[in-house]
Amino acid sequence: MREIVQRFAEEGYMIDPEALELIASYPGPRDELVEGVIRGLDPSTLVVGAPDVQRCPRWTDGVGGAGSLPKTPAPSRGAGSLPKASPPFSREVPPSPPPLRGVGDLLPEAFATAGAVGAPPSPPSELITPKKASHPASPPVVELSPPPLGGGERSLDLPAPETGGGSFGLKDAPDPGPEGGTGVLRRSSPIPSGTGGSEVIGPVLGPSPGSAAPEELRLPGPPAPLEALRDITGRSTCVGEYQDFVRYFRDRYSRIREILAGRLNARPIESLRRGDLAGREISIIGMVMEVRTSAKGNRVVELEDPTGMVTAIFQKAVPGSEEVETLVSDEVVGVTGTTDGKGRFFAKALLRPDLQARSAAAFGEGGALLLSDVHVGSTYFMEEAWDRFIGWIRGEVEDPLGIASKVKYAVIAGDLVDGIGIYPGQEGDLAIKDIWEQYERAAELVAEIPDRISIVLSPGNHDVVRQAEPQPALPERLRPLFGGNVTFVGNPASFILGGVDWLVYHGRSIDDLVLKIPGLSYAEPEKAMVEMLKRRHLSPIYGNRVSIAPEEEDLLVIRRPPAVLHSGHVHTVGMARYKGVTAINSGTWQSQTDFQKKMNIQPTPAIVPYLDLSTMRARRLIFARTPRDDRSSEGPLPA
């Protein structure tokens, strides 16, 4: 039974208990039935149900059509369905699902025509009517943001433009264009009236018609439109074939090589076997295949480019060799050294595609609240703290610093709900054991945020999208639950909001980085985010805890340095400024779970980072009850 659940989980599906029983009762080879069911699923299926099994030709052949249900249009899972790949993805396998109601049981009357051309109908009004919440009259605590990480990295960082350089003879390396060269998708038309929902990317964000707010608030003017830069939503094309992986890694390599090519004169790796180059200092750009330590304590790094592979040896006595200790597999780096003409390369310096120092930070307009990991539906969700937050943002409690009236935007970086079947034993931690009802309640809570505030919602690994990154925005059938001030984007998503560039990434790769890079911890997630910026990749390690879909373009490459990098996932708040980028991990609204206690993970819940886009000052707003409730202070995020 577990193998069946595991196979569906590899493709990003949950399975209904009734469907699981049908498969278990199949008289023929079950693995063939499972593969047949997967092949027959409509692309936007989220939970495999009994009708999906009974529609499979292998089922009808094996049982003679007994008990088969009439064929009805299956709900479908948008682009990005991944059949079994070669090589397979590395995925976390959820346990056998408890008998809980999942997305496959969504109320049919709410979306009777969801598949028809045009906008889906609005759900019944009672589904999105916010419940009346009591807001204890206590203002949040405002804390200073911490000092930034030091910029003392020792990698070779020559002053040079961000882009440039030629192909250097590399084969099959597509031209990625200049940094930030992807086109800006602008959608200036407002949300059509009567849709009952929101556009996926780039509607004109602003106050809803007829929306009201407390009179004591000084309301800001209408926010500027969101301009989408990069997002997988509606663009996924991979099917998990071998060539998809080849194309994916070549795209990653070529895009990061283009950044490095402007900083060093690199040769293709195949040229290192030329005898006339022996003893000469040369540079190469390669993807890290393996890192190991020799018997003498030297670091041995296997590098690859489209022309070949080479073994680079970093001697432990060489200055800057400590930077080699932080190398991880699949990152792209530049290396300078000498060759013996026989395929070995004695490295002297390591160059990462790090951000170039910027003389001035970008500034925009308005204030933004950064949230993530709300986990609605969990028994650990801190609803009282959320009520205090809502009371503050609606002007119902004292706000001595006047921050609430300056807020124009709220960006949620994933895990809006707790989901179902995400980890072993989760059913014991759920207050709402139905995925639809979790989103209903989440929509009610989000609707309590005033309509004047534009909300951007990105998914995470607990949301009902595929587990493989990049993840598309929440399914269209869920969007009518939310108000017209909500814009749905994928994970990651790059956009312009409030006049500055944002890069929102849920942050699951922090698990891999903490495991592989010395000195990183969950207590300081901002350090892991800085490591992403240094490598110009949000999830450089392939095949560990993070499943990555081999799309035609690697959307996890940080081509355009953002002004704001916003993540979540690890449930701890962290802030840093690094070479002009404000990196913020926004914590959680879930108190410490039993699993976190066993892992000695200390979350920092009910803390909302506030970012003034006009000054790039960051503050922590504390809504959890604390003995320091009478203390308030503010300060800039130092450069």
Distances (CA, A) of 229 to 189, 469, 472, 559, 563: 17, 17, 14, 11, 14
Name the strands in the sheet holding 500-504, side by side, starting at the edge strand that comes first in the sequence.
227-231, 493-497, 500-504, 564-567, 581-586, 573-578
CATH number at residue 321: 2.40.50.140
Is residue 328 within 8 Å of residue 517, measured between CB atoms? Answer: yes
Same domain, 338 and 394: no
User: Last residue of a domain, which of 322, 351, 380?
Assistant: 351
Residue closest to 135 by CA, chosen among 369, 399, 377, 375: 399
Q: How far apart are CA 618 and CA 368, in angstroms?
A: 10
Cα–Cα distance measured from residue 12 to residue 6, given in angstroms and rounded to the nearest whole number: 10
Contact 464, 419 (CB under 8 A): yes
**pLDDT, tens digit, for every residue of 419-433?**
998 888 888 999 999
Q: Taking Cα atoms as reference points, which of 245, 254, 301, 285 lies closest to residue 542?
A: 245
Statement to judge: residues 524 and 404 lie in one domain? yes
Which distant-in-sequence residues (6+ apart) come within 8 Å of 246 by Cβ?
Answer: none
Quick one: pLDDT at residue 463? 96
* Run of H or E including 616: none
For 85-143, the three-class secondary structure string (H helix, E strand, C coil) is CCCCCCCCCCCCCCCCECHHHCCHHHHCCCCCCCCCCCCCHHHCCCCCCCCCCCCCEEE
Residues 249, 258: Cα–Cα separation, whole Å: 14
What does the alpha-carbon distance between residue 607 and residue 623 come to, in Å, rounded to a whole number?
A: 6
d(CA 577, CA 141): 22
Half-sphere exposure of 533 (CA within 13 A, CB side): 30
Angstrom distance (rounded) from CA 247 to CA 251: 6
Question: In a 3-state reduction of DSSP, which class is residue 250?
Answer: helix
pLDDT of amino acid 225: 64
What's the per-residue H, E or C state across 172-241? CCCCCCCCCCCCCECCCCCCCCCCCCCCCCCCCCCCCCCCCCCCCCCCCCCCCCCEEEEECCCCCCCCCC
Residue of 222, 330, 349 whose CA lies nearest to 281: 349
Q: How many domains does the chain have?
A: 3
Is residue 202 in a domain? no
Alpha carbons 320 and 316: distance in angstroms, whole number: 9
Domain hosting residue 562, numbered range: 367-622
User: How far is it, in rounded angstroms, from Cα 113 to Cα 313?
Assistant: 62
Query: Is the same domain home to 286 and 382?
Result: no
Please tell me whether residues 342 and 397 are part of one structural domain: no
Count the helices and strands in the chain (H runs, E runs). 11, 21
Residue 151: inside a domain, yes or no? no
Residue 289: count of CB within 10 angstroms of its CB: 14
Whether residue 116 is contained in a domain is answered as no
Write the CATH number for 462.
Answer: 3.60.21.50
Residue 496 sits in the same domain as residue 522: yes
Query: Is-contact 223 409, C-beta < 8 A?
Result: yes
Residues of the chain with pLDDT under 70: 10, 12, 43-44, 46, 64-139, 142-225, 320, 359-361, 626-639
Residues 335, 462, single domain; the answer is: no
Q: Is 269 left (phi over 0), alpha (psi -120 to 50) or beta?
A: alpha
Query: Can you list the positions of beta strands (E) in 372-451?
Result: 407-413
338 with 389, same domain?
no
Together in a domain, 466 and 562: yes
Locate the DSSP E strands across 260-385.
266-267, 281-293, 299-305, 308-314, 332-339, 344-351, 367-371
CA within 13 Å, CB half, 130: 17
Q: Is the four-CA dihedral 411, 414, 415, 417 of positive or negative sign?
A: positive
Residues 330 and 288: beta-carbon distance below 8 Å = yes
Query: How many C-beta atoms lie closer than 10 Å to residue 111's C-beta?
Result: 18
Per-residue DSSP letter, 390: H
pLDDT of residue 360: 67
Within a domain: 371: yes
Residue 300 belongs to some domain of the structure: yes
Question: Within a domain: residue 215?
Answer: no
Based on the fold, state whether residues 432 and 324 are members of the same structural domain: no
Helix H or strand E segment including 611: strand 607-612
Q: Which among 540, 469, 536 has a CA at the least distance from the CA of 505?
A: 469
**How far is 454 from 292, CA to CA, in rounded Å?**
48
Q: Which amino acid is present at 428?
A: G
User: 493 and 615 share a domain?
Assistant: yes
Task: Say how far apart CA 254 and CA 269 lie, in whole Å.
Answer: 14
Query: d(Cα 275, Cα 114) in Å, to the nearest integer?
Result: 66
Q: Domain end: 302, 322, 351, which one?
A: 351
Task: Examine the domain organization and report whether 609 and 506 are in the same domain.
Answer: yes
Helix (H, G, I), strand (E, B) or coil at 536: coil
Sequence-separated (6 or more) residues with CB below 8 Å from residue 152 = none
Which is nearest to 506 in space by CA: 367, 439, 390, 412?
412
Q: Is residue 236 part of a domain?
A: no
Where are the alpha helices (H) located in 430-503, listed in sequence order? 435-447
* Start-to-end C-alpha separation, the chain: 54
81 lies in some domain:
yes
10 Å CB burial of residue 286 (0-12, 13-18, 19+) is buried
CA distance 266 to 260: 9
pTM, 2 dp: 0.68
| Whether residue 436 sits in one domain with residue 562 | yes
